[in-house]
A and B are shown apart, each in its own frame.
Chain A
Amino acid sequence: MEGHELLRMEGVGKSYFGNRVLSNVNFTLKKGQILGLVGENGAGKSTLMNILFGMPVIQETGGYEGKIFIDGNEVSFASPFEALEAGVGMVHQEFSLIPGFTAAENIVLNRESTKYNILVEAFGDRLKTLDRRKIRQRAEKAIETLNVDLHPDMSVSEMPVGHKQFTEIAREIDKERTRLLVLDEPTAVLTETEAAILLKSMKKLAGLGISIIFISHRLQEILDVCDTIIVLRDGEVVREFEPEKTDLMSIASAMVGRSIQGQSRRTQEDADRTSGDVVLTVEHLWVDMPGETVRDVNLEIHRGEIFGIGGLAGQGKLGIGNGIMGLYASGGTVTFDGRNVPLNDPMAPMSMGIAAVSEDRRGVGLLLEEPISWNIIFTTLQVQNRYLRPILGGLVRIRDAAAIRECAKHYIQALEIKCVSERQRVVELSGGNQQKICLAKAFALEPKLLFVAEPTRGIDVGAKKVVLDTLREYNRKNGTTIVMISSELEELRSICDRIAIVDEGRVAGILPATEPSTEFGLLMLGKVEKTRERVTA
């Protein structure tokens, strides 16, 4: 296993437009070793791999800091081609395969074995004929190295996901130069058996002297195959583990347990709060939201509480709010205040007193080209027919410019929105102020229940605190029930009363916010469910 050092990173950092996503990452990877890279969404894993692989997005946004050494020589890849040249292979989460081609053809793509024919004399090497037999042999060899059951003549379009994944990896193996292989969540799409096969072949590859960087959310796999484990959190390497000397628990807590600075903190008063009767019941909710599918969610939310919904990205937590608000096709039963909420009709929940702040602030939440005042009052005007005044003796009603201005001014002052005037266009404001406008829009509806999705995404620390404090204050003052959906567990723990963790479109568990973060971490990683299954089996 021990060999010479293949890859070393020294002080690697990166910021996008002044927003730091990665700082001072150091590690070394020896030949034939497997490095596990874990971290929450947004911890900086993808950015780190993009830097290593020379993705253009890094250059376009101003390059990176620090140094990368391969075989002791400093390298800086300007494009993925240079990285490939140097022997770095990468298997992305999204497949890059040609569906109509067979596995073998995909494996040797652009590096096909060729035969001489007479046309080459006239037109050059580009007209060489494919050597099908040799291509097949190479493909078979690569597949055999992986030790999987994959037929080289199978068309990619007919393959199950697992086989596609294997084809991708086989392609990297077929490249003779490949010495370092980056696998970005390869097991996410695999069944348990397939994943086990993949892990076995990874070990075999490592035995052949190929180093592997393995990114996964499934901690058990990481523990099983890796020689070293690195935990990234908020762009920094927080811990380096050796699998023999650690367990799931400590990795999970290293991943999620972040120090809280400048964030809202819970007080004793918060802990003593008691909640009222059930205000919202969700039964067997499914939502077909692309990338955030909700499969079967059951929830009971109490009057006056702040209820958190957390979980990793893509597990369906965002789908719950959007589904109830009628923005994506959904089914199941939702009862609010004893009345059934019709699904798939955005008007229905709003007219019943449910409002929502979208996670897609710029896409759904705002009219970027319109003034602040419009953004705040429009929903209220449509849903509640307010801010209209009659003209022509009550024949028609038009917008009441004065009332709109008053309302906008009120919220600008109340939420401390920094702007020139209420007529300023929203696109000119900072992310934090835009988020405040989204909140003002929801508050203007005077809702009884408020969904808030990712309220602090993409805004700076100071604004985060203001947004969270505003929500808490609104809840305390008006008794509004708030359902907050966020990927940031600590944020949820700082203001929520109870938190549900969503995993694979289902609620993995609901815990009081006072539980230690490791408990939530385990729920997120689907660990609890799995051990329970094992026990019953």
Chain B
Amino acid sequence: MERIRSFIDAAGWPRIIIALFLLGLFVVAPFVQVRLDASISDTLVRFGMNGVMVLAMVPMVQAGCGLNFGLPLGIIAGLLGAITSIELELTGILGVLVAMCIAIPIAAVFGWAYGLLLNRVKGGEMMIATYVGFSSVAFMCIMWLLLPYKSPNMVWGYAGTGLRTTISVDGYWIRAISDFLSFQQGKYFYFPTGMFLFLALLCVLMWLFMRTKTGTAMTTVGSNPDYARASGVDVDRMRTISVILSTVLGAIGIIVYQQSFGFIQLYMGPFYMAFPAVASILIGGASVNKATILNVIIGTILFQGILTMTPSVINSIVQTDMSEVVRIVVSNGMILYALTRVVKVKSR
């Protein structure tokens, strides 16, 4: 009994309820002709796709910059890397690596400027971050049309210039990371081993970074900036580093996402990308100034699990195709719930 109580305390009621709901969906699934193996496989793939972008939340939260609603900025850097890699006609793992190598420096520069901005709006980071994300997306809507990319796979057919809204990576580097050591079990179950290994690698690196001198200082800045300053830490510098890290992880995250998804989505694609990532880490139990790798993993599984399962199960129950409606209701509902937690943690 005592152990159960301490487990509930540690996990928190919201997570237990969501986990039980998810478990319930899996139990119900076979009875409404939803294949369990396909569902689990879907959940796993979505977890791998989104994991890195959720991980991108960690440094900024730890440094007290709040949740990175400006994630689209990093995503844009990732998109630039991805389309450049396709323009160069690179395929396979090399294509992904080159995409990342191009995206990371761009993301670092973006993150640095974004960090300077956030250092001027201490206390209101999340509001400003949201608009940094939105406005960068709007700006890039112009740039996607103007940038001199030539690959026939990417530009509008009738004009010969300007990038399309959706670009397929098929034939270039589709599932280049996922398929490493991956396996297929039967017709429906696919396990993207490579993607998990990559996510695990990034998680370990983040874990190690948080234990270095810089990482420790970053956590302290988030915990109490005055204490950090009195201990000789350059608070603004730590915050900037955290923003750069978060933006870089956002760029890597979108490339991982695309190689699994199979498409690069430009224009309004990155617009709402930050919200699922924010919701995931909050559901995972992070607060606005404390986040762990465990929060990332649990949160992503729960959020993506619910997102995968609810539409298919409910669809089968009501016998009409309203999966898109259910998906939107569920995902925004989860985001709404998660954001109310932000306020609660803040007002404490």
A residues in contact (CB < 8 Å) with B:
325, 327, 346-347, 350-351, 356, 358, 360, 363-370, 374, 378-379, 381-383, 385, 388, 391, 396-399
Contact = CB atoms under 8 A, between A and B. Distances in A.
Interface of B: 208, 211-213, 216-217, 219-220, 223-224, 226-227, 229-233, 290
Contacts of B233: 382
Nearest to A399: B211
Nearest to A380: B231
A364 B217 contact: no
A366 to B, nearest CB: 7
A372 B290 CA distance: 17
B231 A383 contact: yes
Given A366-B224, A367-B224, A399 B229 contact: no
Contact of A370 (B208, B211, B223): B223
Question: Which secondary structure characterizes the binding site on chain B?
Answer: helix
Contact of A369 (B217, B229, B290): B290
A382 B224 contact: no
A414 to B, nearest CB: 21
Contacts of A350: 231-232
B84 to A, nearest CB: 30
Given A360-B226, A382-B233, 8 more contacts: A325-B230, A358-B230, A370-B220, A374-B220, A378-B227, A383-B232, A396-B208, A398-B212
Contacts of B227: 364-367, 378
A347 B232 CA distance: 4
Contacts of A391: 208
A287 to B, nearest CB: 15
24 contacts: A325-B230, A327-B230, A346-B232, A350-B232, A363-B226, A364-B226, A365-B230, A366-B227, A367-B227, A368-B223, A368-B224, A369-B223, A370-B219, A378-B216, A381-B216, A382-B216, A382-B231, A383-B232, A388-B212, A388-B213, A396-B208, A396-B212, A397-B213, A399-B216
A327 B229 contact: yes
B212 A382 contact: no
A344 B229 CA distance: 11
Nearest to A350: B232
A398 B213 CA distance: 7
A143 to B, nearest CB: 43
Nearest to B226: A364
A350 B232 CA distance: 8
A356 B230 CA distance: 9
Contacts of A363: 224, 226
Contacts of B216: 378, 381-382, 399
B223 A382 contact: no
Contacts of A369: 223, 290
A378 B220 CA distance: 8
A382 B226 contact: no
Nearest to B232: A347
A374 B228 CA distance: 12
B55 to A, nearest CB: 18
Contacts of A356: 230
Given A366-B224, A368-B224, A369-B290, A382 B211 contact: no
Contact of A381 (B213, B224, B229): B213
Contact of A382 (B208, B217, B290): B217
A379 B232 contact: yes
A532 B226 CA distance: 41
A239 B114 CA distance: 63
Nearest to A400: B211
B223 A385 contact: no
Contacts of B232: 346-347, 350-351, 379, 382-383
A23 to B, nearest CB: 34
Nearest to B234: A347
Nearest to A351: B232
A155 to B, nearest CB: 32
A346 B229 contact: yes
Contact of B213 (A351, A374, A385): A385
A260 B208 CA distance: 53
Contacts of B226: 360, 363-364
A102 to B, nearest CB: 36
Nearest to A358: B230
Contacts of A358: 230
Contacts of A379: 230-232
A374 B220 CA distance: 9
A388 B227 CA distance: 20
Nearest to A375: B227
A162 B137 CA distance: 56
Nearest to B289: A369
B22 to A, nearest CB: 30
Contacts of B230: 325, 327, 346, 356, 358, 364-365, 379
A397 B212 CA distance: 6
Contacts of B231: 346, 350, 378-379, 382-383
Nearest to A369: B223
Contacts of A367: 220, 223-224, 227
A202 B35 CA distance: 89
Contacts of B219: 370
Contacts of B217: 382
Nearest to B211: A398
Contacts of B212: 388, 396-399
A382 B213 contact: yes
A326 to B, nearest CB: 8
A28 B70 CA distance: 65
A121 B173 CA distance: 81
A314 B145 CA distance: 62
Contacts of B208: 391, 396, 398
Contacts of A351: 232
A346 B211 CA distance: 23
A388 B216 CA distance: 11
B105 to A, nearest CB: 21
Instruction: Identify the 9 closest CB pairs spanning chains A and B, nearest first.
Output: A347-B232, A398-B211, A379-B231, A364-B226, A367-B223, A399-B211, A346-B232, A367-B224, A382-B231
A305 to B, nearest CB: 24
A325 B230 CA distance: 8
A379 B220 CA distance: 10
A374 B233 CA distance: 15
A347 B230 CA distance: 8
A369 B217 CA distance: 15
A360 B229 CA distance: 13
Contacts of B224: 363-364, 366-368
Nearest to A441: B231
Which among B217, B219, B230 has the greatest number of chain A C-beta atoms within 10 A?
A: B230
Nearest to B208: A398
A327 B223 CA distance: 18
Contacts of A383: 231-232
B217 to A, nearest CB: 6
A358 B226 CA distance: 11
A369 B220 CA distance: 10
Contacts of B290: 369
Contacts of B213: 381-382, 385, 388, 397
A411 B216 CA distance: 21
Contacts of A378: 216, 220, 227, 231
B188 to A, nearest CB: 40
Nearest to A377: B216
B347 to A, nearest CB: 16
